[in-house]
Amino acid sequence: MKYEEKILKLLVEKYRKSKKDFGDNKTNRRTQVKPEKLYKKYNANDGDFEEISRLNKMVNELTEKGFVYSDIEIFGTQIQSIYLVDERIQDIEKYLIDKYGYVSKDMQIEQLQALIDCYINASPICEKECVLLSESIDNRRIPKNIEALDDVFKAISFIENNLDDLYIREVSMKVYGDSKFFETVTLQQVCTLLCKYSDRTNEDNELIDEVLVDYHIYKEPQKLCIKGNVVITIFGIEVDVSVFSEGIEFMASDFENIQSVNIRTTKFMTIENRTAYLRYKDDDIVTFYLGGYANRYQREFIKLIYDSNPEKKYLHFGDIDAGGYWIHHNLCEITGIAFDLFCMSSDELKNKEYESCLHGLTENDITRLQELKEMDEYADTVNYMLDHNVKLEQEIISLALMNRK
């Protein structure tokens, strides 16, 4: 971005976010930006002289246009601060629009009003949200998610008027003409709005998208996958899972027909990823495929297992990363079962056998790990991960464990 555009945009947007624009300012503070905001080494000893000169020249040109003015240090030429000429705010916005295609706050308000006009009668929730948005317009406040609102309202209006049983990707096709757009872009915002106006009593730690069931919308058919020496009694018939070398899969909708689950090993273990579930076998462990955060059917099935087999040892095997530990934490919280961690310690991270498979942490990883390190169960491993900038996926561990047998 050129200095001209950057200077003017920063000042204009700062003004539009201030009480001056809302009309309720009590003191007339100047709208300003420091030169370091434009070039961070402006006052540094190793700053680029030519870059500083370009910035100074542009401030002079904008001053000549009557758009800005500045303070200069008393004994020198360095700019201390750049100020907006408030009276020229509309002229400056027009200049930015004509030259740089800028979208001004007034233009955003017009877009917002157009959305309100389009969706206020589309559905009950759309109407309630549009009333709130109208109040925002009255106060000249723009919601942060204005770019996504059209897509969110499209989904809300369809969902509230839907009477057919549909899968999530079918909804996405009907609303957006794209089978994945709903899941990947608007699902969280849409479900947040549905929950906001819902009368349903949510279970503790219920996943937010489960509200869609109230509108006849479902995820792809959920299967429950279990493997090992276990007998499931369904419709009064005992099914010995151990005779199936790779275990069995059955529809989650059949869960209500299960009377009991008899674990005939000393341990029961949930496994986060499918490849690890397919690979790992142990004669003394019944394994269950989780696939991430446990959904309602998985939670209820695990609780049924525990109620019938409270004396067994319960384990969880997942990735050694922030997601893996949060999945474990969530699993323990929503089932009330104290799952021990399986092969998810710093020992695996230190193991030379896995060294080539270690990955560095992202900024998001680090953020998510900060809270985990305050929990005693994860503290040692998480601190090691942060200190050594490492994480590890479980698939290499399950493969190695089987190769050792």
Core vs surface per residue 137-172: b (16+ CB within 10 A) or e: eeeeebeeebeebebbbbbbbbbbebeeebebbebb
Domain with CATH 3.40.1360.10 in the chain: 223-403
pLDDT at 34 over 70: yes
State which amino acid sits at residue 128.
K
Residue 349: pLDDT band (50, 70, 90) is very high
Mean pLDDT of 34-46: 89
Mean pLDDT of 198-214: 67
Domain with CATH 1.10.10 in the chain: 3-102
Q: Would the CA dihedral through 148, 154, 157, 158 be positive or negative?
A: negative
Least confident window among 136-140, 204-208, 332-336: 204-208
Mean pLDDT of 151-166: 93
Q: Which residues contact 133 (CB under 8 A, 6 or more apart)?
A: 112, 115, 116, 143
Residue where the block lists tokens 């959920």: 222
Strands (E) across 35-129 are located at 68-72, 79-84
Mean pLDDT of 130-138: 92
Give the closest residue to 265 by CA, choosing from 333, 220, 194, 314: 314
pLDDT at 12 over 50: yes
pLDDT in tens, 222-249: 789 999 999 999 999 999 999 999 999 9
For position 359, what pLDDT does the model report?
94
pLDDT at 204 over 50: no
For position 16, what pLDDT does the model report?
87
CA angle 252, 256, 258 (to 5 degrees): 95
CA distance 186 to 197: 17
- Please name the fold of domain 223-403: Dna Topoisomerase Vi A Subunit; Chain: A, domain 2 (3.40.1360)
Mapped onto helix, strand or coil, the DSSP state of residue 405 is coil
CA angle 380, 327, 259 (to 5 degrees): 130
Question: 3.40.50, 1.10.287, 1.10.10, 1.10.150: which CATH number matches 3-102?
Answer: 1.10.10
Least confident window among 136-140, 157-161, 346-350: 136-140
Least confident window among 15-19, 52-56, 257-261: 15-19
Mean pLDDT of 70-76: 84
**CB 136, CB 143: distance < 8 Å:** yes
**Higher-pLDDT residue of 71, 28:** 71
pLDDT in tens, 351-366: 999 999 999 999 989 9
pLDDT at 271 over 90: yes
Give the closest residue to 205 by CA, choosing from 316, 331, 300: 331
Give the closest residue to 227 by CA, choosing from 182, 271, 192, 257: 271
pLDDT at 203 over 60: no
State percent of the chain over pLDDT 70: 96
Strand partners, 271: 289, 317
